[in-house]
Amino acid sequence: MHSYPAWKIWLVVIVLLVGTLLALPNVFGEAPALQLSRNDRTAVTAAQQQQVVSTLQSRGVTVDSSYLEGDRLVLRFDDVGTRLKARDVVQQGTGTEYLVALSDVPRTPAWMRAIGLKPMSLGLDLRGGVYFMYEVDTQGAVKQLLTSMESDYRTMLRKERIPFTGVASDGVDTVRIGLRSGDDAQRFASLLRKQDPNLSVDVDTLGEGGSVTVTLSPTQVKQRQDFAIQQNITTLRNRVDELGVTEPIVARQGLDRIVVQLPGVSDPNEALRVLGATATLEFRLVDDQNDALLAESTRRAPLGSKLYHTRDGRPVLLKRETIVSGEQLTDASSGFQQGEPAVMVTLDARGASKMLETTRQNLGRPMAVVFIEKKRVAEDQPCKGTRAGNECTEEAVINQATIRGVFGSNFQITGVMANEARELALLLRAGSLAAPLYIVEQRTVGPSLGADNIRRGVNALVLGLVVTFIFMVVYYQAFGMVANVVLLTNVVLLAALLSMLQASLSLPGIAGIVLTVGMAVDANILIFERIREELRNGMSPHAAIGAGFDKAFSAIADSNITTLIAGVVLFTFGTGPVRGFAVVLSLGIVTSMFTALVVSRVLVHLLWGRQRKLEKLAIGMGY
């Protein structure tokens, strides 16, 4: 008989109970559902929940269950057909009040949801959904920076009362400012260096007048490109949140690409339209002093103005100077204003100040809203706007209104259709893209294929476990049964960790689970073989058990630590499925070491360690 600390036994009991509880939500499966979020971004209330459920029931749609999750309302149904019927009823009955997203939610009981228990998060290949790969126009981001610099320099020149002949950029890395005299050039260069000491500023005073050339360094260009990618990732995440997609993946891949995975999404066209749209607004004063029809016929706009067109093709002259752009919008929501669809806009402090000053100085004059959209089109596809290679920029005046009063941070935009107002509000609310995005690859994984992948992965895991169980029982007899219980415990604890951490499980992750089972059984084999060796050397059964676990520890620790290092490296440098495999592998190493060294020893102690006279161990090979 040998002693074993009681606290370790209680530790194993507590860990197994907690692990079983955390893993339990995975046995209930998923059900088709709708997720409803309010367009005005406020949380759905219990009263609104009851109103929606009552509306559905009155139209003959049975709701399996409904509950509030965060600021959203989740409606669960028995089948996909009922879900689609419910979506139509909600959209017809509530108009533009709610944003409706199709999804699949767990069938976990309410008491589990109340204490925060969730099943494992399934990846795209297991759950079904859509996969997009975007390429970021990093050079376009640099062009946007140069355009912004041009506008800032014009404002600075006017503020300092320095006469200039022109401000233009080459679209690559340089902005050139033409000035009336060499003294003005020196003065403006000093102002620029004082504003930003790291700026590369060159002055040319030869000949008549002078010029200042501002050149971005390669480091500044690279920083701008990286900023554009990170900003686009943030914007895409915001847009995904607005779509109501659960467990999305938005990550950078390579130098200039972004991968978006939307598990559970059944309408890829809506996701593609909203995610990739480079839509923004500009507010400009209307040039009411010149004839737009004349500018249209001559194809020449007056100095300081630019020719635009409304959506029905009418020419409009607008001032070149932008009052406010989409980057200065902090919030937007759709609704109705005097019976017309409208977008309610909120500006940041800088934009509100500029809008307040403009409206105060231009009472009675018209102001226009320009809708700008950038997209990539094939060579044989038409472009309704300006074309540069495969890049198409479409600009249209969607609203003209006379400034009747002074306003600043809050106002409305009309002249759009209802569905367009919802989408425009979503895009503006989620933020504008720092650079255009172009779709490179698109894949759709159907739910049936995802279910088939799960079935195949589970079958592989079950087959591997069954073969391993048979081998262990035949070769190690009763100790083999202990190893089998330990293996099942390891799978349960691994599922518990994945559920608790909400790490996304994909097909490579299932492969990681199978590999973890093999490593866990390897640890038990090392321990059992060490016990056999000690028995051959003449040790008593009790002493052989203690020596087997103690002496096998170093070999087990060494092999698992080296594998853990490989998993950390894969997670650090890998992307997508590789990182998913690394996460499962690393967590599996932790659970396999705990179960092999602690759980199995507790079981062996409970079965044989408390026997005073132990003559023989049922460990195979005649021992």
Q: Is 244 helix (H, G, I), strand (E, B) or coil?
A: coil
Higher local confidence (pLDDT), 331 or 493: 493
Whether 183 shows a pLDDT value over 70: the answer reads yes
Amino acid code (one letter) for 394: E
Average pLDDT across the chain, whole number: 80
> What is the average pLDDT across 199-203?
84
pLDDT at 136: 84
Give dist(CA 246, CA 240) in Å, integer.
9
Residue 494: pLDDT band with limits 50, 70, 90: very high
Residues 508-546 pLDDT 10s: 888 888 888 888 888 888 888 888 888 888 888 888 888
pLDDT at 14: 93
Contact of 184 with 153, CB cutoff 8 Å:
no
Contact of 76 with 65, CB cutoff 8 Å:
yes
Retrieve residue 272's tokens: 């593609």
> What is the average pLDDT across 156-162?
84
> What is the average pLDDT across 613-619?
74
Whether 477 shows a pLDDT value over 90: the answer reads no
Retrieve residue 127's tokens: 């759950």
> What is the average pLDDT across 464-482?
87
Whether 610 shows a pLDDT value over 80: the answer reads no
pLDDT at 416: 63
User: What backbone phi and psi angles, to 5 degrees, belong to 233?
Assistant: -60, -45
Higher local confidence (pLDDT), 21 or 448: 21
> What is the average pLDDT across 157-166?
84
Lowest mean pLDDT among 36-45, 317-326, 578-587: 36-45
Residue 22: pLDDT band with limits 50, 70, 90: very high
pLDDT at 247: 60
Contact of 519 with 588, CB cutoff 8 Å:
yes
pLDDT at 268: 62
pLDDT at 493: 93
HSE, side-chain direction, 13 A CA sphere, residue 97: 15
> What is the average pLDDT across 414-419?
64
HSE, side-chain direction, 13 A CA sphere, residue 344: 10
- The percentage of the chain sitting over the pLDDT mark of 90, rounded to a whole number, equals 4
Residue 19: pLDDT band with limits 50, 70, 90: very high
Lowest mean pLDDT among 27-31, 211-215, 344-348, 367-371: 344-348
Residue 323 host element (H or E)? none
Higher local confidence (pLDDT), 499 or 399: 499
Residues 77-118 pLDDT 10s: 988 888 888 888 887 776 557 777 777 778 888 888 888 888
**Overall size of the chain counted in residues:** 623
Amino acid code (one letter) for 234: T
Higher local confidence (pLDDT), 248 or 303: 303
Instruction: Go through 503-515 and write b for each residue having 16 or more CB atoms within 10 A of its CB, e for each that does not.
Output: bbbbbbbbbbbbb
Whether 375 shows a pLDDT value over 70: the answer reads no
- The percentage of the chain sitting over the pLDDT mark of 70, rounded to a whole number, equals 86
Whether 294 shows a pLDDT value over 80: the answer reads yes
Higher local confidence (pLDDT), 250 or 334: 250
pLDDT at 334: 74
Q: List the beta bridge partners of residue 279.
A: 373
> What is the average pLDDT across 270-279?
64
Domains defined along the chain, listed by start:
6-24+448-609 (1.20.1640.10), 129-276 (no CATH), 277-443 (3.30.1360.200)
Higher local confidence (pLDDT), 382 or 479: 479
Nearest to 331 by CA among 31, 40, 11: 40
Whether 16 shows a pLDDT value over 80: the answer reads yes
Give dist(CA 594, CA 519) in Å, integer.
12
CA dihedral 466, 469, 473, 474 (to 10 degrees): 50
Residue 240: pLDDT band with limits 50, 70, 90: confident
pLDDT at 621: 63
pLDDT at 428: 64
pLDDT at 249: 79
Residue 492: pLDDT band with limits 50, 70, 90: very high
Higher local confidence (pLDDT), 312 or 243: 312
Whether 395 shows a pLDDT value over 70: the answer reads yes
